């Protein structure tokens, strides 16, 4: 009972955060909303029993990406966006998105039984998997991150020849 | 001799090749084109003379439809031979005359090419042994007439006249085609020998229908009432053209056609009745109009219509050989009169009789030739016209007295307008300031040749009749005497009306009104324009606006603009807006997944 | 079941943001929302599957790549802002 309640609470947090990200005009509020969303997601991960993942999520996303966004907004003086749902296109996009959600649910319906937390997902087991069976993928992930770092530097660096 | 007789198709081939050669080298040929073109008529003359003795024929199967076949062929019997000689002589005279008359004209080569083409077509017409070749040649003759009337095509009146000629004769041509269809249906063949052989055994209604259709076709080509309006307008063409086509040959094609298919007419009394009535009305009516004309060519045009009316009346009376005889003499004297008129126009610079006068002193040879022609036209012995016209009138008198009387009146009028025109042009005071001069010998030569013919051709009547399988009755004194008296009286009246004081006199109101009505051809042209041409043009214009422009162009342009608009719509898809593209992709994804879900359900 | 619906709704919502928002930072944020939704779904499946530990590892990968993508996105944003174009309707070169 209480797990279900917890789930609903986390879900509400997540959705509220997402809604703010989508709809608000001011950038600062959007950052807050994104933060709320990410925390909600982390909470849900934890609810499912994936503790390591939840913590990693908070560190990386909330601590890293969100701060990066915040830096971008404040350093470049991005203040506010246009009003949400301002043009016909917005309504069309809303329809498409609603349609997407419906269609996805219909497509994946049969494959997922009731959501329930799971136990026994320990850090040790994850480490075994990552550095054992999935070592190549792990290494490649490292390379990808490095490439991303280099790319970001290159993009910011170049483009002075206008 | 035997070569010419055995290859009569040369009469078509030679002028046709000449025409093609002239047309192909239209910039290259110069003055030589006239001499080359002469080969055509000379071939006709040679073959015609050679064939007067016997007949040759040949044929080939052109088209086969099931068991029925269309056979085309040629046949030079006596009738064809006579026509070949007539066409050949007149065409040759016209071509030689034109060397002088058309000298310096920009379209010199084109002129001779067209004359050659016409000669070929006319030859094809007279030697045709089946209705298909005949019709093809018939149409070709009409086309050449169109091209030659509109020879100076930059003149709008000439182009208009050519169109009118084509349209009016087209009515007749349609009737002729209908007649051919009737005959095909009734006999299963279009070969003249076959069709004419069965003429006696066809149902009366059928043969009458066919004969009347043929008659209508002949009426169109020979400018009989009510299909005569085109001939006066056709005077827009060069005068030698008028001499060849509209006096001697093409307009005679109608008479020839009826003679050619005579067994049909022999079996259909109603058609002969119709020919008689039409011919008589035309003969009399046209003569009155000719009397009121001011342009020398128009006088001759209406005179031609009238004389053709005489021929049709003779046909209607059953005497086709007489009609052919008159056709021959008419070709001589009317061709002569037209060419002489050409000489007058060339020498005096005007066509209007009121501006002429006293030309006999200035152009003696021309005047003498004209007088020979006029005497023949008026039917005064011993000119050829007297003999043929006398035979026409007497044969008509025997079959329908009322028509004979009408023709007597027409003869008197003929003499009257001939005399009037003669006096106005050649005698009296010179009314023009321009000094007239005689024409060069290249033009006078043909005049003299035709002049001699116009005077002496009376003697060929006998041999002609026997060639055509009959014998003309000898002159009967009462009829001949009446004719001569009427001619002299008419001539005197016409001469008197052309006296100088008459021009100054004011006509009384009734006379003036009458003259004006006669001048316009008794309003036939205006009537047809108002009640036939205008409605037809209006219908054509309405169809063009609604059917063509609205419907068809609308569909064509509509499809094009639709395609263009759809393309434009699709082009808007590529707006450059990334989010728009993403939206489209998302839509695609949604649809795909939905489809997959649907299919696996 | 409910997690499925939640995840799908989150993804759809993120898509709405990607399609609609004019400011580039907002677009990036919406992309993050979509990623979050997708990995939530992944986690839910893993929890119901046979080897949840592998599922956690997998989700960690997604996390890492998502972070890298955000970093590159910001870099792009910076270079665009330098040229004075910071809104989506100002970037329209690929035009038909």
Q: pLDDT tens digits, residue range C37-91?
A: 999 988 888 887 777 777 788 888 888 888 888 989 888 888 888 777 767 666 6
- CA C6 – CA A7 distance, rounded (Å): 11
Stretch B492-496: mean pLDDT: 84
Structure tokens at B329: 């003499």
Residues 6+ apart with CB under 8 A from B147: B114, B162
Among candidates B48, B20, B49, B47, which has minimal Cα distance to B36? B20
Q: pLDDT tens digits, residue range B457-466?
A: 877 777 777 7
Rounded to the nearest angstrom, the minimum Cα separation between B561 and chain C is 20
Query: Does the pLDDT at position A64 exceed 50?
Result: yes
CB atoms within 10 A of CB A70: 17
pLDDT, residue B350, reads: 80
Q: Do A107 and B596 touch (CB under 8 A)?
A: yes
Residues 6+ apart with CB under 8 A from B16: B116, B117, B120
Rounded to the nearest angstrom, the minimum Cα separation between C15 and chain B is 8
pLDDT, residue B448, reads: 85
Structure tokens at B237: 């063409």
Rounded to 5°, the CA angle B527-B279-B254 comes to 95
Q: Considering only alpha carbons, which residue of chain B is nearest residue C95?
A: B576
- CA B481 – CA A147 distance, rounded (Å): 131
Rounded to the nearest angstrom, the minimum Cα separation between A1 and chain C is 15
pLDDT, residue B114, reads: 92
Question: Length of chain B in residues, anyone?
Answer: 601
Residues 6+ apart with CB under 8 A from C4: A105, A108, A109, A112, A115, C41, C44
Q: Which residues of C touch A109 (CB under 8 A)?
A: 1, 4
Instruction: Give B572: exposed, middle or buried? Use CB within 10 Å, 0-12, 13-18, 19+.
Output: exposed
| Candidates A109, A149, A159; nearest CB to C82 | A159
CA distances from residue B428 to B356, B421, B422, B491 in whole angstroms, order as listed:
9, 12, 10, 16
Stretch A43-69: mean pLDDT: 90
At residue B74, the 3 state secondary structure works out as: strand
Rounded to 5°, the CA angle B41-B43-B47 comes to 120
Q: pLDDT tens digits, residue range B338-389?
A: 999 998 888 888 888 877 877 888 888 888 889 999 999 988 888 888 888 9
Q: Do A89 and B586 touch (CB under 8 A)?
A: no
Query: Does the pLDDT at position A162 exceed 50?
Result: no
Stretch B280-294: mean pLDDT: 89
* 8 A C-beta contact, residue B218 and residue B257: yes
| Candidates B583, B587, B597; nearest CB to A107 | B597
Query: Does the pLDDT at position B178 exceed 90?
Result: yes
> Rounded to an integer, what is the distance from CA B40 to the centroid of its chain?
20
- ipTM here: 0.88
pLDDT, residue B135, reads: 92
Q: pLDDT tens digits, residue range B220-276?
A: 888 888 888 888 888 888 999 989 987 778 888 999 999 999 988 888 888 899 999
Query: Does the pLDDT at position B411 exceed 50?
Result: yes
Q: pLDDT tens digits, residue range B292-346?
A: 888 889 999 999 999 999 999 999 998 888 899 999 999 999 999 999 999 888 8
Q: Which residues of B touch C18 (CB under 8 A)?
A: 579, 582
Query: Does the pLDDT at position C93 exceed 60?
Result: yes
Rounded to the nearest angstrom, the minimum Cα separation between B110 and chain C is 59
Q: Which residues of C touch A135 (CB under 8 A)?
A: none
Q: Name all chains with 3 or more CB-CB pairs below 8 Å to chain A.
A: B, C
Kindly state whether C77 is in contact with chain A, defined as any CB-CB distance less than 8 angstroms. Answer: yes
Q: Name all chains with 3 or more CB-CB pairs below 8 Å to chain B.
A: A, C
Kindly state whether A5 is in contact with chain C, defined as any CB-CB distance less than 8 angstroms. Answer: no
Q: Do B597 and A106 touch (CB under 8 A)?
A: yes
SS (H, E, C) chain A: CHHHHHHHHHHHHHHHHHHHHHHCCEHHHHHHHHHHHHHHHHHHHHHHCCHHHHHHHHHHHHHHHHHHHHHHHHHHCCCECCCCCCCHHHHHHHHHHHHHHHHHHHHHHHHCCCCCCCCCCCHHHHHHHHHHHCHHHHHHHHHHHHHHHHHHHHHHHCCCCC
Q: Do B583 and A92 touch (CB under 8 A)?
A: yes
> Rounded to an integer, what is the distance from CA B463 to the centroid of its chain?
28
Rounded to the nearest angstrom, the minimum Cα separation between A56 and chain C is 8
pLDDT, residue B349, reads: 80
- H/E element, B410: helix B401-426
Q: Considering only alpha carbons, which residue of chain C is nearest residue A52?
A: C56
Q: pLDDT tens digits, residue range B522-580?
A: 778 788 778 888 888 888 888 888 777 778 888 888 888 888 888 888 887 777 777 88
pLDDT, residue B62, reads: 67
Structure tokens at B113: 């090419």
- CA B105 – CA B102 distance, rounded (Å): 5
Rounded to the nearest angstrom, the minimum Cα separation between C85 and chain B is 14
Stretch A98-107: mean pLDDT: 87
| Candidates C18, C27, C89; nearest CB to B577 | C89
pLDDT, residue A39, reads: 95
Structure tokens at B534: 């205008």
CA distances from residue B409 to B40, B196, B485 in whole angstroms, order as listed:
40, 36, 11
Mutate to test the interface with B, among A22, A106, A111 (most CBs of B within 10 A): A106
Q: Do B586 and A97 touch (CB under 8 A)?
A: yes
Q: Which residues of C touch B583 (CB under 8 A)?
A: 19
Confidence of residue A103 (pLDDT cuts 50, 70, 90): confident
Burial B225-236 (b: 16+ CB within 10 A, else e): bebbbbbbbbbb
Q: Do A49 and C52 touch (CB under 8 A)?
A: yes
- CA A141 – CA A159 distance, rounded (Å): 28
Query: Does the pLDDT at position B498 exceed 70?
Result: yes
Residues 6+ apart with CB under 8 A from B158: B149, B150, B151, B152, B236, B237
Show contacts of B403-407: CB within 8 Å, 24+ apart: B403/B276, B403/B277, B403/B280, B403/B313, B403/B316, B403/B317, B406/B280, B406/B283, B406/B284, B407/B280, B407/B283, B407/B284, B407/B310, B407/B313
Q: pLDDT tens digits, residue range B64-97?
A: 666 666 777 777 788 888 888 889 899 999 999 9
Structure tokens at A45: 């991960």
Kindly state whether B595 is in contact with chain A, defined as any CB-CB distance less than 8 angstroms. Answer: no
pLDDT, residue A160, reads: 57
Q: Which residues of C touch A64 (CB under 8 A)?
A: 67
Stretch B4-13: mean pLDDT: 74
In the stretch 25-64 of chain C, residues with CB closer than 8 A to chain B read: 27
């Amino acid at each position: 009972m209480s797990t279900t309640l917890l789930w609903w609470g986390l879900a509400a947090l997540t959705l509220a955060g997402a809604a703010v990200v989508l709809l608000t005009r001011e950038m600062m509020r959007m950052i807050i909303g994104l933060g709320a969303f990410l925390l909600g997601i982390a909470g849900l991960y934890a609810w499912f029993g994936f503790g390591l993942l939840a913590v990693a999520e908070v560190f990386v996303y909330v601590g890293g990406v969100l701060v990066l966004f915040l830096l971008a907004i404040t350093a470049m003086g991005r203040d506010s966006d246009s009003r949400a749902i301002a043009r016909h296109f917005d309504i069309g996009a809303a329809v498409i998105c609603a349609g997407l959600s419906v269609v996805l649910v219909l497509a994946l319906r049969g494959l997922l039984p009731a959501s329930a937390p799971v136990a026994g997902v320990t850090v040790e087991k994850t480490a075994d998997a990552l550095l054992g069976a999935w070592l190549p993928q792990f290494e490649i992930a490292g390379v990808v991150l490095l490439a991303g770092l280099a790319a970001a530097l290159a993009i910011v660096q170049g483009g002075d020849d206008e | 001799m035997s070569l010419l007789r055995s290859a009569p198709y040369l009469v078509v081939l030679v002028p046709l090749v000449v025409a093609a050669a002239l047309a192909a080298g239209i910039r290259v040929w110069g003055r030589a084109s006239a001499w080359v073109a002469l080969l055509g008529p000379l071939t006709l003359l040679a073959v015609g003379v050679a064939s007067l003795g016997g007949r040759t024929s040949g044929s080939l199967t052109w088209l086969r439809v099931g068991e029925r076949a269309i056979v085309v062929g040629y046949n030079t019997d006596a009738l064809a031979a006579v026509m070949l000689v007539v066409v050949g002589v007149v065409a040759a005279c016209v071509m030689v005359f034109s060397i002088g008359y058309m000298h310096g004209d920009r379209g010199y080569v084109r002129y001779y090419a067209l004359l050659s083409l016409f000669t070929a077509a006319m030859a094809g017409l007279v030697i045709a042994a089946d209705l298909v070749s005949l019709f093809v040649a018939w149409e070709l003759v009409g086309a050449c007439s169109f091209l030659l009337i509109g020879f100076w095509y930059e003149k709008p009146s000439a182009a208009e006249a050519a169109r009118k000629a084509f349209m009016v004769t087209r009515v007749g041509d349609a009737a002729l085609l209908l007649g051919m269809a009737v005959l095909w249906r009734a006999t299963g063949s279009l070969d003249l020998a076959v069709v004419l052989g069965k003429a006696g055994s066809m149902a009366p209604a059928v043969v009458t229908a066919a004969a009347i259709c043929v008659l209508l076709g002949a009426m169109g080509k020979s400018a009989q009432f009510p299909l005569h309006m085109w001939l006066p307008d056709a005077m827009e063409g060069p005068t030698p053209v008028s001499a060849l086509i509209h006096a001697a040959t093409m307009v005679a094609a109608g008479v020839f056609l009826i003679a050619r298919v005579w067994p049909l007419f022999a079996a259909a009394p109603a058609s002969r009745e119709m020919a008689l009535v039409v011919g008589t009305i035309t003969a009399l009516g046209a003569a009155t109009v000719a009397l009121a004309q001011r342009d020398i060519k128009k006088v001759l045009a209406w005179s031609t219509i009238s004389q053709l009316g005489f021929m049709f009346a003779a046909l209607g009376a059953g005497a086709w050989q007489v009609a052919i005889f008159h056709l021959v003499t008419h070709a001589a004297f009317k061709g002569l009169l037209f060419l002489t008129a050409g000489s007058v126009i060339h020498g005096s610079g005007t066509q209007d009789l009121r501006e002429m006068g006293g030309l006999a002193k200035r152009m003696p040879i021309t005047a003498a030739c004209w007088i020979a022609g006029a005497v023949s036209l008026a039917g005064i012995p011993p000119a050829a016209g007297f003999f043929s016209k006398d035979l026409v009138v007497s044969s008509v008198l025997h079959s329908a007295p009322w028509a004979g009387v009408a023709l007597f009146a027409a003869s008197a009028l003929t003499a009257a307008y001939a005399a009037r025109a003669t006096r106005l042009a050649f005698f009296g005071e010179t009314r023009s300031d321009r000094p007239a001069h005689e024409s060069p010998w290249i033009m006078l030569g043909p005049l003299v040749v035709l002049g001699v013919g116009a005077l002496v051709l009376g003697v060929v009547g006998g041999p002609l009749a026997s060639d055509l399988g009959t014998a003309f009755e000898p002159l009967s004194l009462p009829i001949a005497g009446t004719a001569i008296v009427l001619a002299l009286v008419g001539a005197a009246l016409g001469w008197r009306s052309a006296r100088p004081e008459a021009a100054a006199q004011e006509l009384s109101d009734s006379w003036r009104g009458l003259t004006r009505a006669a001048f316009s051809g008794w309003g036939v042209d205006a009537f047809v324009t108002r009640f036939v041409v205008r409605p037809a043009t209006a219908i054509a214009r309405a169809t063009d606006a609604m059917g063509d422009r609205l419907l068809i162009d609308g569909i064509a342009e509509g499809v094009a603009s639709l395609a263009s608009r759809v393309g434009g719509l699709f082009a808007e898809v590529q707006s450059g807006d990334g989010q728009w593209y993403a939206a489209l992709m998302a839509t695609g994804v949604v649809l795909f997944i939905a489809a997959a879900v649907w299919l696996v359900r | 079941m409910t997690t499925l619906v939640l995840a799908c709704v989150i993804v759809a919502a993120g898509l709405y943001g990607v399609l609609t928002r004019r400011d580039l930072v907002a677009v990036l944020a919406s992309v993050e929302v979509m990623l979050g939704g997708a990995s939530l779904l992944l986690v839910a499946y893993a929890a119901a599957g046979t080897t949840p530990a592998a599922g956690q590892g997998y989700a960690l990968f997604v996390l890492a790549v998502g972070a890298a993508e955000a970093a590159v996105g910001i870099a792009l944003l910076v270079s665009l802002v330098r040229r004075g174009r910071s809104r989506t309707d100002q970037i329209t070169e690929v035009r038909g």
